[in-house]
């Protein structure tokens, strides 16, 4: 696939990992990437399917890149949709303002269509311009929030639940699926088996802790630098909110920060009451075929449960 001005787009280029690997990502994001992160986010197969990497090249120099990983969504009607997720889209600082990001994102859209996806998903903060091309192209915009601890504000301490270490069992995702069907109909990511769920939620690039909270809740937390990331939480609705507060308080007691992602307005409102900070964001879903446009746009009106660990 060629672009104007001597720019080319390569799909899964062979032999240039050094040019588009950890050093490239560190320069683009101005934060360190490790080989473990690079392999997990951009080279790891899921359900037997490898991801793709699209790269904008000028001459022999990589200017921009974006990964696309393949997952499944289940909508409230029970239908399972194959989707692509744009991951680690970035441009070298010296190449910004030349349209490289739009080029590589269009290539990701095209590649996801070739791979048989219903839609391409992008996860962005509301103040991040990277979601604007998808919005211009007609993507459904599903509100979400990035929830994190504040530096100094105290957490409300009422109704803290008992918290204890636990060993992850293969029935954890099965229990969550049964609970989802028993409650209000929500769209969510679909994991075809326990192995797929473990590869996404448990076998992550940083250290993971699994916990039982209260009588019904189970959680998977990834320790990234000084932050406890709540990647997955399951439990009765009556305990989910106290469980979030308990995990955030647990992080604070150990002088660590807390982070989670949510598409549930009730969780976002409760997080603010607990003294946590929230930043608005969007899960964007772009239909990849004209006859799917209306159905995918309807996703914006659905109730969703998407968690931190689902996103990438």
| CATH at residue 291 | 3.40.630.30
The 10 Å Cβ neighbour count of residue 6 is: 9
Same structural domain, 79 and 198: no
Same structural domain, 35 and 84: yes
Same structural domain, 202 and 91: no
| CATH at residue 159 | 3.40.630
Range of the structural domain that residue 49 is part of: 4-142+283-310
Same structural domain, 175 and 246: yes
Are residues 148 and 257 in contact, defined by beta-carbon separation less than 8 angstroms? yes
Same structural domain, 57 and 33: yes
Closest of 1, 107, 31 to residue 64, by C-alpha: 107
Same structural domain, 236 and 296: no
Same structural domain, 36 and 102: yes
Same structural domain, 183 and 79: no
H helix or E strand, kind and range, residue 143: strand 140-148
| Residue for token pair 């803290």 | 160
Are residues 134 and 284 in contact, defined by beta-carbon separation less than 8 angstroms? yes
pLDDT digits (tens, 9 = 90+) for 25-72: 999 999 999 999 999 999 999 988 999 999 999 988 999 999 999 999
H helix or E strand, kind and range, residue 62: strand 61-74
Same structural domain, 40 and 87: yes
Same structural domain, 196 and 292: no
Look at residue 159 in the predicted model and tell me its pLDDT: 57
Same structural domain, 183 and 201: yes
User: 24 by DSSP, 3-state: which?
Assistant: helix
User: 48 by DSSP, 3-state: which?
Assistant: coil
Same structural domain, 116 and 218: no
Indicate the number of domains in the chain.
2
Look at residue 3 in the predicted model and tell me its pLDDT: 44
Paired strand residues for 52: 68
User: Could you say which DSSP state residue 97 is in?
Assistant: T
Residues of the chain with pLDDT under 70: 1-5, 152-159
């Amino acid at each position: 696939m060629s672009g104007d001005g001597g720019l080319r787009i390569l799909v899964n280029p062979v032999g240039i990992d050094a040019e588009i690997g950890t050093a490239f990502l560190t320069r683009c994001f101005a934060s360190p990437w490790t080989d473990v992160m690079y392999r997990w986010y951009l080279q790891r197969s899921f359900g037997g399917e490898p991801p793709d990497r699209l790269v904008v090249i000028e001459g022999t120099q990589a200017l921009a890149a974006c990964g696309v990983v393949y997952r499944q969504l289940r909508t409230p009607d029970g239908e399972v949709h194959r989707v692509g997720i744009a991951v680690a889209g970035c441009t070298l600082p010296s190449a910004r303002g030349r349209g490289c990001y739009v080029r590589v994102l269009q290539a990701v859209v095209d590649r996801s269509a070739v791979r048989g996806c219903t839609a391409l998903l992008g996860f962005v903060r509301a103040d991040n311009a990277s979601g604007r091309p998808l919005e211009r192209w007609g993507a459904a915009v599903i509100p979400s929030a990035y929830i994190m601890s504040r530096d100094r504000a105290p957490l409300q301490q009422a109704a803290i639940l008992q918290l204890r270490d636990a060993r992850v069992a293969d029935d954890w995702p099965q229990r969550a699926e049964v609970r989802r069907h028993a409650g209000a109909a929500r769209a969510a990511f679909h994991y075809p088996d326990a192995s797929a769920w473990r590869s996404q939620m448990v076998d992550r690039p940083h250290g993971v802790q699994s916990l039982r909270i209260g009588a019904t809740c189970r959680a998977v937390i990834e320790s990234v630098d000084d932050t406890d990331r709540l990647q997955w939480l399951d439990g009765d609705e009556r305990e989910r909110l106290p469980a979030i507060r308990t995990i955030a308080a647990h992080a604070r007691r150990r002088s660590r920060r807390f982070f989670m992602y949510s598409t549930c307005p009730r969780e976002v409102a409760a997080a603010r009451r607990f003294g946590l900070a929230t930043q608005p964001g969007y899960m964007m879903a772009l239909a990849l075929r004209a006859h799917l446009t209306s159905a995918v746009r309807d996703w914006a009106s659905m109730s969703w449960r998407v968690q931190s660990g689902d996103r990438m």
